[in-house]
Structure 1
Amino acid sequence: MFAAQFKMTFRDKNVWFWSIFYPVLLLVIFIMIFGGSSGGSFTAKLALVEPASNTLAEDLRSGLKQIDVFEYKSETPVSREKAEEWLKDRDVDAVIVLPQTKDASSLELLLNKEKQNSPSSQAIQSILNNIVLQLNSAASGAAPAFTLKTEFVSAGSEELKYTDFLLTGLIALAISQAGLFGMVSMVEMRRNGLLKRLILTPASMGLFGLGGIAVKFILSAIQIVLLTLIGVLAFGAHINMNVPAFLIVFIVGTLSFAGIGFMLAGFSKTMESYFGMANLTSFIMMFISGVFFDINVLPSYIKPLANVMPLTYFANGIRDSMVYDLGMMNATFWMNIGIMLAWGLVSVIIGSKFYNWKQP
Structure 2
Amino acid sequence: MKAFLSMVGANLKMQVRNRTALFWLLAFPALFILLFGFLFGRSSDFTVTVGVVNGNSTPIAAQMTKAMQKSSFFKVQRSGDRKAELQKLEQGDVDAVLVFPPHASPGQPLHVTSYVDRSRLSTAQAVSAAIQQIADRFNRGVNRGPELVSVSTRGVQGHHLSSIDYLVPGFVAMSIMQNGVIGLAAAFVALRERGVLRRIRVTPFPLMSFIGARIVSNLLVVLFQVAILLGMARALFDLRVGGDIAQVAVGVGVFSVLGALAFLAIGFFVAGVSRKVESANTLGNLITFPMLFLAGIFFPITQAPEWLQTVARILPLYYLADGLRRAMVYGTSLAHLWTDAAALLATALMGLVLAVRFFRWEPGAG
In the alignment, residue 285 of structure 2 is paired with which amino acid?
N
Percent of residue pairs identical: 23
RMSD: 4.3
Residue deviations 1:60-117 (CA, integer Å, cap 9, x gap): 762333425533112xxx76x664224235675631368xx98x9x995625979x99
Structure 1 residues 248 and 305 mapped into 2: Cα distance closer, same or farther (>3 Å)?
Answer: same
Q: TM-score, normalised by structure 2?
A: 0.66
Q: 3-state DSSP class of the match of 1:287?
A: helix
SS in 1 for 2:334: coil
SS in 2 for 1:263: helix
In structure 1, what is the Cα distance between the partners aligned to 2:119 and 2:269? Answer: 39
Aligned residues: 293
Match of 1:294 among 291, 300, 317: 300
**Is residue 318 from structure 1 mapped to residue 332 from structure 2 by the alignment?**
no
Determine if contact 1:94/1:112 at 8 Å carries over to the other structure.
no
1:199 is aligned, of 198, 201, 206, to 201
Distance 1:178 1:354, change over 3 A: same
CA-CA distance at 1:193 after TM superposition: 2.3
Offset at residue 148 of structure 1 (A)? 12
Secondary structure at the aligned position of 1:95 is classed as strand
Gaps of at least 5 residues in structure 2 are 1-46, 101-107, 142-150
Alignment of 1:270 onto 2:276: yes
Counterpart in the other structure of 1:352: 356
Query: Which amino acid in 2 is paired with 1:173?
Result: M
Q: 1:71 to 1:325 in 2, by over 3 A?
A: closer
Alignment of 1:216-255 (within 5 A): 216-240=218-242, 241=245, 242=247, 243-255=249-261
- What is the match of residue 65 of structure 1? 66
- Secondary structure of the 2:305 match is coil
Corresponding residue number in structure 2 for 1:306: 312
* Alpha-carbon distance in structure 1 between the residues aligned to 2:152 and 2:297: 30
Relative to structure 2, which stretch is displaced further, 195-204 or 267-276?
Answer: 195-204
- Write the distance in 1 (CA, Å) between the matches of 2:161 and 2:77: 27
How big is the shift at 1:302? 1.6
Tell me what 1:282 maps to. 288
Residues 223-269 of structure 1: per-residue CA shift (max 9 Å, x gap): 21121122111111111342333332222211111001111111211
Amino acid at match of 2:350: V
Match for residue 13 of structure 2? none
**Structure 1 length normalisation: TM-score?**
0.67
TM-superposed CA distance for 1:311, in Å, is: 0.9
Q: Structure 1's 111 and 308: CA in aligned 2 closer, same or farther, altered over 3 A?
A: farther
Partner of 2:98: 96
Q: For 1:327-351, what per-residue CA distance to the aligned partner results, in whole angstroms no more than 9, with x for missing partners?
A: 2333xx2211111111111111112
Aligned pairs for 1:1-360 (under 5 A) are: 46-48=51-53, 62-66=63-67, 67=69, 70-74=76-80, 83-88=85-90, 92=94, 94-96=96-98, 110=116, 129=130, 132=133, 153-154=157-158, 158=159, 161-183=162-184, 184-240=186-242, 241=245, 242=247, 243-330=249-336, 333-359=337-363
SS of the residue corresponding to residue 332 of structure 2 reads coil
Structure 1 stretches of 5 or more lacking a match? 1-41, 51-56, 141-146
Corresponding residue SS for 2:306: coil
SS in 1 for 2:52: strand
